[in-house]
Structure 1
Amino acid sequence: MVGAGHFSRCFIPLFQAHPLVQEVSCCDLDEATMAEVAQRFRITRTFRNLDEVLQSDVEAIAIFTQRWTHAPIALRALAAGKHVYSAVPAATSIEDLHLLVEAVKKTGLIYMMGETSCYYGNRLFCREKWDAGEFGHFVYGEGAYYHDMSHGFYSVFQRGGGANWKATASVPPMLYPTHSVAMVLSVTGARMTSVSCLGWKDRSDDGIFLREVSQFGNDFSNQTALCRTSDGGMARINEFRRCGTKGGRSVRLSLFGTEGSYEESARDAMWGSRMADPVSVEDQIKCVDVYASDKEEEPKVERELRRDFLTSFAPVHQKYRERLPGSFRTQPNGHEGSHQFLTDDFVRAVVSGRQPFINVWESAKYNAPGIIAHESSRREGEWLAVPDFGATPA
């Protein structure tokens, strides 16, 4: 585990409980944090820095560091012969996405990005409808991530950015696009070919989204992109960090096909077709809320983030749970039931040598539209092409 922060602690017990994992070790630059995590999770081997990790005999690393550091760490790890699991995003530049793809091609190692939305109940429901042909041809999709800064993000960036946290808290929303982009593309299997994006210049007085302060030269706190997809459809992606909404789902999906449609709001989800009125399917995709963070072994998270960190399965997950290790039944979960699936996917991929679902090619497909969209917003909506990184090898 590279990084011992709050998110990492959600996955440590899962890797420890997996029957195909022999040992979990941990690395963090903060000695106090490292000592705390080692004691809590009974970790016997720790590392002071990444160099020590890469020189060791560990077979794989899981990256849980600041989002703009993921790609550089992953590239070093692949070069050192380590399999890589990375929290999102995979990268914040097109160049690094190309380098990641080439590194996996060259080394034959496993790279997986832990995109949680791929296992959300709404995505699984829509994928089942898609596979059954009930959507017909894809027409239009909406993916959105609505997360106001005041809902737990201030403390997240303060912990990760230190004294200069405001410079990094201003990360452009479209450089963190994978929750919303994957919602659409992981259902249809298409990719985005071009994008036009507009940004909303921040008006808050907290001094975060100021171009002169931002490490990224960014003053957009909200961005909206319109995309063309490779199957001839259209998609709108919203990444908002200043928005008057609280509670309900922050990551949302709506899809329209020629035969069927799925529409979602903060607290309801509707399925309809050309031949039938819409009906609510919320009871199929809603997760059981697990707010057990008062227990010592649970990660301590802000109340606003508990829905993300500590939510478990929905009814739609039931058939997919059968392939999970039995040892997971007593383990924590999070991000709408996704943590256990993501952990199992990566471990099985490393052991089998087969590419996981969210491999480096899929990761690039989910990341690239946002990176290009941010550049488009800097040009006031200019249409720009999204590069094609190719498909997962057969």
Structure 2
Amino acid sequence: MGKLRIGIAGTSRGSHFHEDFSKVDGAEVVAIMDPDKRARQAFCDKYQVEYALASYEDLLNAGIDVVVIASPLQLHAAQAIDALNQDIHVLSEVTAAATLEDCKLLLQAAKNSNAQYMMAENYCYIRENIAIRNMVRAGLFGDIYFAEGEYLHNVTYLHYDEHGKPTWRRKETMGKRGCTYGTHSLGPPLDWFNERVKLVNCLGPGSHTEPAYENDDTTMMLCRTESGALITIRLDMVSNRPHNMGYYSLQGTKGCYEAPRVPGGTHRIWLTDYTQSKEEWLALPDVYGDFLPAELIDFPEEAKDSHHWGADYFMVKDFVHRILEQRPVAIDIYKSLEMTLPGILSEQSITRNGAPIEVPDVRKW
């Protein structure tokens, strides 16, 4: 196979994807699509593409091998299904779907397609999260049984457009209760545990910062995995505070991991196999040489200006190489839905005062 011909739906986030795909050998962005004429023109003023299109159907018919879905969240599943039905590979922004029914339809389309589906959960490609995953697999944490993930990011300025009309973020993430945008926080812990969520409970304190919003200022989602481990997820996209978009912790029988809660802090680990003192923390970068490939330690120039701490570049590169080499993608349809479904089911739990809701096993659908 020669270069992959890439088409991108959505020019706002799509511009970042264009930059990362352009750095990777074996891929070329040939087409973009956006219904907004001004957005298409602004994109073409900055980047060169063969086609700048107004409709998604035209994008799929532009001779592309891969479509990157960077559209509003409520369109992700339908657009992915249309692409898979035409045997076009899909790299979709999070979340994979917004409803349980869409998850079922998306799974069926992926199973029937000759193309691959991957959800672009870039947080699984953050350097620190990869190091922790490799250490878990090496057994350094022992039996792991608890993890945390937090995404605290005030984006109220994105909830209305320049004309005062509500955007998709206002409708889809703040227009209903629950953990409506939780895969950034849940994805890496699920990658570490390598199992699915079986039960989910969700609670919130109500709306205070933006009283007119339907969703709570902060949402807490408790996830019980099949083995009985507990993962707690906090989502907050309105509170007035500095951002903290990537906090995680992990606890096992032989050690623990703590990400920093403020910018500039140190990622720390405590491991019985490494640490002499019961109170001595190690800086996670001190063990990178044992648990990361050289590229992730040295950070190539291509990754240094990529979004999400370089994770976007590494994700795109991995996706391209796997498609070209005809290997399974890292976050396939099953893992994508396993990261997405707890948030969807949390909407039921929070309206039932935190009652536990069973999460279906997509591998048995």
Normalization by structure 1: what TM-score?
0.80
In 2, Cα distance between equivalents of 1:265 and 1:343: 26
Further displaced range: 264-273 or 66-75 = 264-273
1:223 and 2:219 matched: yes
Residue deviations 1:207-262 (CA, integer Å, cap 9, x gap)? 4x1xxxxxxxx332321122211222111111122445315x42211111111111
Shift of 1:57: 1.6
Aligned to 1:265: 260
Aligned to 1:236: 232
2:241 maps to which of 238, 245, 260: 245
Shift of 1:9: 1.1
Residue identity matched to 1:33: A
Aligned to 2:65: 59
Aligned to 1:154: 156
Residue deviations 1:99-134 (CA, integer Å, cap 9, x gap)? 222211111311111111101133122112202101
Residue deviations 1:176-220 (CA, integer Å, cap 9, x gap)? 11011112111121111101111221123574x1xxxxxxxx332
1:20 and 2:18 matched: no
Q: Secondary structure at the match of 2:316?
A: helix
In 2, Cα distance between equivalents of 1:285 and 1:240: 32
Change (3 A) 1:175 1:168: closer
In 1, Cα distance between equivalents of 2:163 and 2:247: 28
Shift of 1:45: 1.6
Change (3 A) 1:120 1:278: farther
Q: Secondary structure at the match of 1:175?
A: coil
Matches within 5 A, 1:286-301: none
1:319 and 2:317 matched: no
In 1, Cα distance between equivalents of 2:341 and 2:165: 30
Q: Which runs of 5+ in 1 are unaligned?
A: 210-217, 287-313
1:199 and 2:195 matched: no
1:336 and 2:309 matched: yes
In 2, Cα distance between equivalents of 1:246 and 1:331: 23
Shift of 1:143: 1.3
2:87 maps to which of 60, 78, 81: 81
1:190 maps to which of 186, 195, 208: 195
Q: CA RMSD in A?
A: 2.9
Shift of 1:19: 2.1
Shift of 1:374: 2.0
2:101 maps to which of 81, 95, 117: 95
CA contact (8 A) 1:157 1:168 kept: no
Aligned to 2:3: none
Aligned to 1:104: 110
Residue identity matched to 1:19: D
Change (3 A) 1:41 1:192: same
1:366 and 2:339 matched: yes
CA contact (8 A) 2:178 2:215 kept: no
CA contact (8 A) 1:157 1:169 kept: no
Aligned to 1:352: 325
Shift of 1:285: 9.9
Q: Which runs of 5+ in 2 are unaligned?
A: 1-7
In 2, Cα distance between equivalents of 1:161 and 1:3: 20
Change (3 A) 1:243 1:280: farther
Counting matched residue pairs gives 347
Shift of 1:158: 3.0
Change (3 A) 1:143 1:330: closer
Shift of 1:346: 2.0
In 1, Cα distance between equivalents of 2:220 and 2:287: 26
Shift of 1:20: 1.0
In 2, Cα distance between equivalents of 1:49 and 1:285: 49
